Protein backbone atom coordinates (compact mmCIF):
# COMPACT_ATOMS: atom_id res chain seq x y z
CA UNK A 1 0.00 0.00 0.00
CA UNK A 2 1.44 3.34 -1.01
CA UNK A 3 1.97 5.96 1.66
CA UNK A 4 -0.10 8.98 0.55
CA UNK A 5 2.23 11.30 2.45
CA UNK A 6 4.99 10.43 -0.04
CA UNK A 7 3.28 12.82 -2.44
CA UNK A 8 5.42 15.91 -3.18
CA UNK A 9 2.60 18.04 -1.75
CA UNK A 10 3.78 16.95 1.70
CA UNK A 11 7.55 17.46 1.39
CA UNK A 12 9.55 19.94 3.47
CA UNK A 13 9.34 22.81 0.99
CA UNK A 14 5.58 22.50 0.53
CA UNK A 15 4.83 22.12 4.24
CA UNK A 16 7.07 25.04 5.15
CA UNK A 17 5.31 27.25 2.61
CA UNK A 18 1.95 26.11 3.95
CA UNK A 19 2.66 26.75 7.61
CA UNK A 20 3.94 30.24 6.82
CA UNK A 21 0.71 31.02 4.95
CA UNK A 22 -1.63 29.82 7.69
CA UNK A 23 -3.35 32.62 9.65
CA UNK A 24 -1.57 33.88 12.76
CA UNK A 25 -4.24 33.93 15.47
CA UNK A 26 -2.07 35.29 18.26
CA UNK A 27 0.02 38.38 18.68
CA UNK A 28 -0.82 41.99 19.46
CA UNK A 29 2.81 42.92 18.87
CA UNK A 30 2.73 41.04 15.56
CA UNK A 31 -0.29 43.07 14.44
CA UNK A 32 1.54 46.30 15.34
CA UNK A 33 4.37 45.32 12.95
CA UNK A 34 6.78 46.56 15.58
CA UNK A 35 9.40 43.85 15.04
CA UNK A 36 9.89 43.40 11.27
CA UNK A 37 11.48 40.10 10.32
CA UNK A 38 15.04 39.85 9.02
CA UNK A 39 16.30 36.60 7.54
CA UNK A 40 19.88 35.57 8.39
CA UNK A 41 22.03 32.61 7.34
CA UNK A 42 23.62 31.82 10.70
CA UNK A 43 22.52 30.74 14.18
CA UNK A 44 23.90 33.91 15.75
CA UNK A 45 23.92 37.62 14.98
CA UNK A 46 26.40 40.40 15.68
CA UNK A 47 25.06 43.79 16.75
CA UNK A 48 27.42 46.72 16.30
CA UNK A 49 27.07 49.73 18.57
CA UNK A 50 28.46 53.10 17.49
CA UNK A 51 28.59 55.87 20.06
CA UNK A 52 27.84 58.57 17.52
CA UNK A 53 27.79 62.17 18.74
CA UNK A 54 26.43 65.09 16.71
CA UNK A 55 28.71 68.15 16.99
CA UNK A 56 28.12 71.73 15.90
CA UNK A 57 30.42 72.72 13.04
CA UNK A 58 32.14 76.13 13.31
CA UNK A 59 32.11 78.59 10.44
CA UNK A 60 35.39 79.16 8.56
CA UNK A 61 36.74 81.71 6.12
CA UNK A 62 36.53 80.68 2.46
CA UNK A 63 39.56 78.55 1.60
CA UNK A 64 40.14 77.53 5.21
CA UNK A 65 40.53 73.80 5.93
CA UNK A 66 37.43 72.01 7.14
CA UNK A 67 37.07 70.33 10.50
CA UNK A 68 38.10 66.68 10.57
CA UNK A 69 35.50 64.06 11.50
CA UNK A 70 36.36 61.76 14.40
CA UNK A 71 35.88 58.01 14.26
CA UNK A 72 33.12 56.72 16.49
CA UNK A 73 33.90 54.10 19.09
CA UNK A 74 32.43 50.76 18.16
CA UNK A 75 31.41 47.71 20.13
CA UNK A 76 30.29 44.41 18.63
CA UNK A 77 28.04 42.07 20.61
CA UNK A 78 27.09 38.56 19.56
CA UNK A 79 23.71 36.96 20.33
CA UNK A 80 22.71 33.32 19.83
CA UNK A 81 19.35 32.75 18.15
CA UNK A 82 17.03 30.44 20.14
CA UNK A 83 15.97 27.13 18.59
CA UNK A 84 12.30 26.25 19.22
CA UNK A 85 11.22 22.80 17.91
CA UNK A 86 7.72 21.35 18.28
CA UNK A 87 6.49 17.88 17.23
CA UNK A 88 3.10 16.28 16.63
CA UNK A 89 1.76 13.14 14.97
CA UNK A 90 -0.99 12.26 12.48
CA UNK A 91 -2.37 8.85 13.49
CA UNK A 92 -4.01 6.41 11.06
CA UNK A 93 -7.35 6.86 12.88
CA UNK A 94 -7.47 10.48 11.75
CA UNK A 95 -7.37 9.55 8.08
CA UNK A 96 -9.39 6.34 8.41
CA UNK A 97 -12.18 6.17 5.86
CA UNK A 98 -11.04 9.03 3.66
CA UNK A 99 -8.86 6.86 1.41
CA UNK A 100 -10.66 5.69 -1.70
CA UNK A 101 -8.93 3.80 -4.49
CA UNK A 102 -8.62 6.06 -7.51
CA UNK A 103 -10.19 8.99 -5.65
CA UNK A 104 -9.13 12.41 -6.90
CA UNK A 105 -9.79 14.02 -3.51
CA UNK A 106 -7.48 11.80 -1.46
CA UNK A 107 -4.62 14.27 -1.32
CA UNK A 108 -7.03 17.11 -0.61
CA UNK A 109 -8.61 15.22 2.31
CA UNK A 110 -5.20 14.40 3.78
CA UNK A 111 -4.18 18.03 3.36
CA UNK A 112 -7.16 19.09 5.46
CA UNK A 113 -6.13 16.78 8.29
CA UNK A 114 -2.56 18.01 8.04
CA UNK A 115 -3.66 21.66 7.97
CA UNK A 116 -5.53 21.23 11.25
CA UNK A 117 -2.36 19.95 12.91
CA UNK A 118 -0.16 22.62 11.35
CA UNK A 119 -2.55 25.39 12.42
CA UNK A 120 -2.43 24.18 16.03
CA UNK A 121 1.36 23.98 15.89
CA UNK A 122 1.62 27.43 14.30
CA UNK A 123 -0.56 28.93 17.04
CA UNK A 124 1.85 27.61 19.68
CA UNK A 125 4.82 29.08 17.81
CA UNK A 126 2.93 32.38 17.44
CA UNK A 127 2.19 32.80 21.14
CA UNK A 128 5.80 31.83 21.90
CA UNK A 129 7.08 34.53 19.54
CA UNK A 130 4.70 37.02 21.15
CA UNK A 131 6.20 36.14 24.54
CA UNK A 132 9.75 36.63 23.23
CA UNK A 133 8.87 39.97 21.64
CA UNK A 134 7.21 41.17 24.83
CA UNK A 135 10.44 40.27 26.61
CA UNK A 136 12.40 42.37 24.12
CA UNK A 137 10.08 45.31 24.91
CA UNK A 138 10.79 44.81 28.60
CA UNK A 139 14.56 44.53 28.02
CA UNK A 140 14.80 40.96 29.34
CA UNK A 141 13.90 38.09 26.99
CA UNK A 142 12.66 35.07 28.95
CA UNK A 143 12.33 31.40 28.08
CA UNK A 144 9.08 29.48 28.58
CA UNK A 145 10.15 28.42 32.09
CA UNK A 146 10.91 32.00 33.15
CA UNK A 147 14.69 31.72 32.82
CA UNK A 148 16.58 34.54 31.13
CA UNK A 149 17.64 34.08 27.52
CA UNK A 150 19.00 37.60 26.92
CA UNK A 151 19.26 40.56 29.28
CA UNK A 152 19.59 43.51 26.92
CA UNK A 153 20.45 45.92 29.73
CA UNK A 154 23.41 43.81 30.80
CA UNK A 155 24.54 43.25 27.21
CA UNK A 156 24.47 46.97 26.35
CA UNK A 157 25.74 48.00 29.78
CA UNK A 158 22.96 50.42 30.63
CA UNK A 159 20.64 50.87 33.59
CA UNK A 160 16.94 50.14 33.03
CA UNK A 161 14.63 53.12 33.33
CA UNK A 162 11.65 52.81 35.68
CA UNK A 163 9.12 55.54 36.47
CA UNK A 164 6.67 55.28 39.35
CA UNK A 165 3.43 57.02 38.40
CA UNK A 166 2.28 57.01 42.05
CA UNK A 167 -1.31 56.54 40.93
CA UNK A 168 -2.36 55.77 44.48
CA UNK A 169 -1.81 59.42 45.37
CA UNK A 170 -4.54 61.79 44.22
CA UNK A 171 -2.20 64.78 43.96
CA UNK A 172 0.34 63.12 41.65
CA UNK A 173 1.05 65.17 38.52
CA UNK A 174 0.54 62.37 35.98
CA UNK A 175 1.21 64.68 33.03
CA UNK A 176 4.64 65.48 34.45
CA UNK A 177 5.33 61.76 34.79
CA UNK A 178 4.43 61.27 31.13
CA UNK A 179 6.75 64.08 30.08
CA UNK A 180 9.56 62.44 32.05
CA UNK A 181 9.03 59.27 30.04
CA UNK A 182 8.89 61.13 26.72
CA UNK A 183 12.07 63.08 27.42
CA UNK A 184 13.93 59.94 28.45
CA UNK A 185 12.95 58.15 25.23
CA UNK A 186 13.83 61.16 23.09
CA UNK A 187 17.26 61.45 24.74
CA UNK A 188 18.01 57.77 24.12
CA UNK A 189 16.96 57.51 20.48
CA UNK A 190 20.61 58.23 19.57
CA UNK A 191 20.11 59.25 15.95
CA UNK A 192 16.90 57.24 15.49
CA UNK A 193 13.53 58.87 14.91
CA UNK A 194 10.01 58.03 16.07
CA UNK A 195 6.44 59.05 15.37
CA UNK A 196 4.85 58.47 18.80
CA UNK A 197 5.18 56.68 22.13
CA UNK A 198 3.04 53.68 23.03
CA UNK A 199 2.51 51.87 26.33
CA UNK A 200 1.21 48.34 26.80
CA UNK A 201 -0.23 48.22 30.29
CA UNK A 202 -1.69 45.66 32.68
CA UNK A 203 -5.43 45.86 33.45
CA UNK A 204 -4.65 47.05 36.97
CA UNK A 205 -2.45 49.88 35.68
CA UNK A 206 -5.09 50.93 33.12
CA UNK A 207 -7.82 51.09 35.76
CA UNK A 208 -5.61 53.05 38.17
CA UNK A 209 -4.58 55.49 35.42
CA UNK A 210 -8.04 56.21 34.02
CA UNK A 211 -9.58 56.61 37.47
CA UNK A 212 -6.88 58.96 38.78
CA UNK A 213 -8.11 62.43 39.70
CA UNK A 214 -5.66 64.14 37.31
CA UNK A 215 -6.59 61.89 34.39
CA UNK A 216 -10.25 61.04 34.86
CA UNK A 217 -11.60 64.25 33.37
CA UNK A 218 -9.43 63.91 30.26
CA UNK A 219 -10.43 60.27 29.95
CA UNK A 220 -14.14 61.10 30.11
CA UNK A 221 -13.76 63.87 27.52
CA UNK A 222 -11.69 61.70 25.21
CA UNK A 223 -13.14 62.17 21.74
CA UNK A 224 -16.13 64.11 23.09
CA UNK A 225 -17.18 61.45 25.53
CA UNK A 226 -16.39 58.37 23.44
CA UNK A 227 -14.65 56.94 26.48
CA UNK A 228 -18.05 56.74 28.21
CA UNK A 229 -19.70 54.89 25.32
CA UNK A 230 -17.03 52.56 24.00
CA UNK A 231 -14.24 50.28 25.19
CA UNK A 232 -11.21 52.57 25.27
CA UNK A 233 -8.80 49.92 26.51
CA UNK A 234 -7.57 49.59 22.92
CA UNK A 235 -5.92 52.99 23.18
CA UNK A 236 -6.24 56.09 25.35
CA UNK A 237 -3.87 58.98 24.68
CA UNK A 238 -2.78 61.27 27.48
CA UNK A 239 0.13 63.75 27.56
CA UNK A 240 1.75 62.32 24.45
CA UNK A 241 1.54 58.61 25.35
CA UNK A 242 -1.06 56.14 24.10
CA UNK A 243 -1.93 53.65 26.84
CA UNK A 244 -3.33 50.31 25.70
CA UNK A 245 -4.44 47.47 27.94
CA UNK A 246 -2.57 44.24 27.21
CA UNK A 247 -3.80 40.88 28.48
CA UNK A 248 -1.38 38.50 26.81
CA UNK A 249 -0.73 35.30 28.73
CA UNK A 250 0.09 31.65 28.11
CA UNK A 251 0.64 28.38 29.94
CA UNK A 252 4.23 27.28 30.55
CA UNK A 253 5.43 23.63 30.29
CA UNK A 254 4.55 23.08 33.97
CA UNK A 255 0.97 24.23 33.52
CA UNK A 256 1.44 27.62 35.16
CA UNK A 257 -0.26 30.62 33.55
CA UNK A 258 2.27 33.37 32.90
CA UNK A 259 1.17 36.95 32.29
CA UNK A 260 3.34 38.75 29.77
CA UNK A 261 2.96 42.01 31.72
CA UNK A 262 3.05 41.83 35.50
CA UNK A 263 0.31 43.26 37.67
CA UNK A 264 0.37 47.05 38.24
CA UNK A 265 3.04 47.63 35.57
CA UNK A 266 3.32 49.00 32.04
CA UNK A 267 6.01 49.21 29.38
CA UNK A 268 6.63 52.22 27.09
CA UNK A 269 8.42 52.20 23.75
CA UNK A 270 8.62 54.37 20.61
CA UNK A 271 6.69 53.72 17.41
CA UNK A 272 7.70 54.59 13.87
CA UNK A 273 11.39 53.78 14.29
CA UNK A 274 13.45 52.39 11.43
CA UNK A 275 16.13 50.24 13.06
CA UNK A 276 15.35 49.99 16.76
CA UNK A 277 13.34 46.75 16.66
CA UNK A 278 13.87 43.62 14.57
CA UNK A 279 13.17 39.90 14.67
CA UNK A 280 15.99 37.77 13.29
CA UNK A 281 15.06 34.38 11.81
CA UNK A 282 17.78 31.74 11.42
CA UNK A 283 17.50 28.72 9.09
CA UNK A 284 16.36 25.32 10.33
CA UNK A 285 18.81 22.56 11.14
CA UNK A 286 17.87 20.50 8.04
CA UNK A 287 20.19 19.38 5.26
CA UNK A 288 17.96 21.23 2.80
CA UNK A 289 18.33 24.56 4.61
CA UNK A 290 22.12 24.76 4.90
CA UNK A 291 23.38 28.21 3.80
CA UNK A 292 19.85 29.46 3.13
CA UNK A 293 18.12 32.51 4.57
CA UNK A 294 15.94 31.77 7.58
CA UNK A 295 12.15 31.64 7.47
CA UNK A 296 9.74 32.36 10.33
CA UNK A 297 8.60 28.72 10.48
CA UNK A 298 9.58 25.33 9.11
CA UNK A 299 7.61 22.09 8.84
CA UNK A 300 8.56 18.56 7.90
CA UNK A 301 6.99 15.08 8.05
CA UNK A 302 8.15 11.47 7.94
CA UNK A 303 6.46 8.08 8.47
CA UNK A 304 6.60 6.50 11.91
CA UNK A 305 8.13 3.09 12.53
CA UNK A 306 6.06 0.27 11.01
CA UNK A 307 4.00 2.95 9.20
CA UNK A 308 1.97 3.59 12.38
CA UNK A 309 1.26 7.21 11.53
CA UNK A 310 3.19 10.25 10.38
CA UNK A 311 5.39 12.40 12.57
CA UNK A 312 5.20 16.15 12.09
CA UNK A 313 8.08 18.42 13.02
CA UNK A 314 7.95 22.20 13.13
CA UNK A 315 10.54 24.64 14.30
CA UNK A 316 11.21 28.32 14.52
CA UNK A 317 14.51 30.07 15.19
CA UNK A 318 13.62 33.65 16.17
CA UNK A 319 15.43 36.34 18.12
CA UNK A 320 13.47 39.57 18.71
CA UNK A 321 15.93 42.38 19.34
CA UNK A 322 15.79 45.94 20.60
CA UNK A 323 18.98 47.62 19.41
CA UNK A 324 18.43 50.61 21.70
CA UNK A 325 17.28 49.30 25.11
CA UNK A 326 17.65 52.82 26.49
CA UNK A 327 14.32 53.76 24.86
CA UNK A 328 12.44 51.15 26.92
CA UNK A 329 10.71 52.47 30.04
CA UNK A 330 8.92 50.47 32.71
CA UNK A 331 6.01 52.14 34.52
CA UNK A 332 4.59 51.16 37.89
CA UNK A 333 1.40 52.10 39.68
Task: Assess contact for 106 and 100: CB atoms under 8 A.
Answer: yes
Is residue 273 pLDDT above 50, yes or no? yes
Quick: pLDDT tens for 288-305. Answer: 999 899 999 999 988 888
Strand partners, 45: 79
Tell me, what's the pLDDT at 76?
82
1: confidence class by pLDDT, cuts 50, 70, 90:
very low
Out of 37-41, 109-113, 312-316, least confident range = 109-113
CATH number of 10-48+79-332: 3.90.1690.10
DSSP string for residues in 294-315: --S-EEEEEEPGGG--EEEEEE
Quick: pLDDT tens for 101-140. Answer: 455 556 666 777 888 898 999 999 999 999 999 999 999 9
More confident residue, 165 or 92: 165
Task: Measure the CA–CA gap between 313 and 288, rounded to whole angstroms.
Answer: 14
Tell me, what's the pLDDT at 153?
96
Is residue 69 pLDDT above 90, yes or no? no
Tell me, what's the pLDDT at 90?
87
Task: Assess contact for 311 and 91: CB atoms under 8 A.
Answer: no
**For 148-176, what is the mean pLDDT?**
95
Give the domain ranges of the chain: 10-48+79-332
Quick: pLDDT tens for 87-109. Answer: 999 888 887 666 554 555 566 66
Is residue 2 pLDDT above 50, yes or no? no
Q: CA 51 → CA 58, 104, 117, 157, 185, distances in Å?
A: 22, 64, 48, 13, 17
Tell me, what's the pLDDT at 13?
79
Tell me, what's the pLDDT at 160?
97
Task: Assess contact for 8 and 14: CB atoms under 8 A.
Answer: yes
Read off the DSSP letter of residue 260: S
Amino acid sequence: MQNPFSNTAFDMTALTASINLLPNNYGKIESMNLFPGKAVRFRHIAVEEKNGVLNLLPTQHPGAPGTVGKRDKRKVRTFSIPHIPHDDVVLPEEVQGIRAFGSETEVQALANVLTDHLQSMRNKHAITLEHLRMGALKGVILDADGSTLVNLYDEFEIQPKEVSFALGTATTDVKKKCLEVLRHIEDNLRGEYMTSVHALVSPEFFDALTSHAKVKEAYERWQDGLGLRADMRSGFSFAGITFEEYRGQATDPDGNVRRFIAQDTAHCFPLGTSETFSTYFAPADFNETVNTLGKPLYAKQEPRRFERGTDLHTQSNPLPMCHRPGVLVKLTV
